[in-house]
Structure 1
């Protein structure tokens, strides 16, 4: 490739588009021809032509001028682009394509998709939570227990992962009942525990503070065995 051709290739420039447009255009109700036409409009705009004609657009695509005109009309109707009138410095009026509507729709779609994914993930976490409790209790939960679980999430705003951690604490302590778990959650919330790491750290510190008192021998008695630290949240 000669230097002249290389320079010409570089002068063609590049276009930068969000990857989510490529991965989500179908869900945004765009087909392949509409997507490519939008990319061509973006390319023309970035190269200084803000109002390419259907002929110019068609020359880069495999559709006719009339088909290109129809696709443009549909894109305008669907609210992906619009034609705006502007004025140059010397007062001359001219038209240009505005693609801000495309970016706004893309942002709205991206945020909505993330919100939907969060809802689905939360529902899955809640389902897993009920399953964990039933596995640990070895039976289906009663209506009252199901209501208690729902209250922990909806009224007390405990994260399902934190509730699972409290369930594990109750299993470790040999106190597998809802009253004990509720007490653990109460103590954690009172002490600002919101993550699994914080819960583990808090439990570890609590156990360390309880060991000396649990292991203290009776006066005059000889300590013959080492006591096992016990984590009793109900004594808080």
Structure 2
């Protein structure tokens, strides 16, 4: 490398360093697969950490995450939902009282807790058999996961994985439908709200879509209105499309 090349290389390094550096837990880079994270999910966590440390952005939008990852908003929203559901991240809400501004930020205490628990558990495990090749699967259940063979519990592990995949696909379709009706990408907070309706409130997807339809007809397309509809239906034991029709007719005078 001649002097000119050294100068060019040095200028590039200098420019990169001036743009900031993010501190990423090495345990995340080394062990993310053992925490059942995919490469794209681990990279999403790294981007969230980098946005906070370098850009000072504690709650980047889905569009900003799409710019740095090059992935679809639906895919990013689905991964954020999984990370929140499994406790790697959460969303804190706060108020800047001086400026009277409401804001959200990602909380990474779950990620750090999981990494700490994993490292503590690994430190207590007996030394591995040196005769085993590096990267060998330590037990039958893990082997079943890697090869697709039935797990020792009679296949329940694979059934759970299939069910989780189905749930994720259903949630992605809900996100897509809501984005079409709202005419814009959903925020992470809105994605978490939809996930909460499905995972915590156990509302059927059909009922959520009917509530969305009601809000469109009423000209009140916002999440608080949809949530009020779902709560009202839950209190009146409205569980499906037929119940919604009967309930609507009753209160609009159509069933009298």
- TM-score (norm: length of structure 1): 0.46
Larger radius of gyration: 1
- TM-score (norm: length of structure 2): 0.43
Structure with more relative contact order (C-alpha pairs < 8 Å, separation 6 or more) = 2
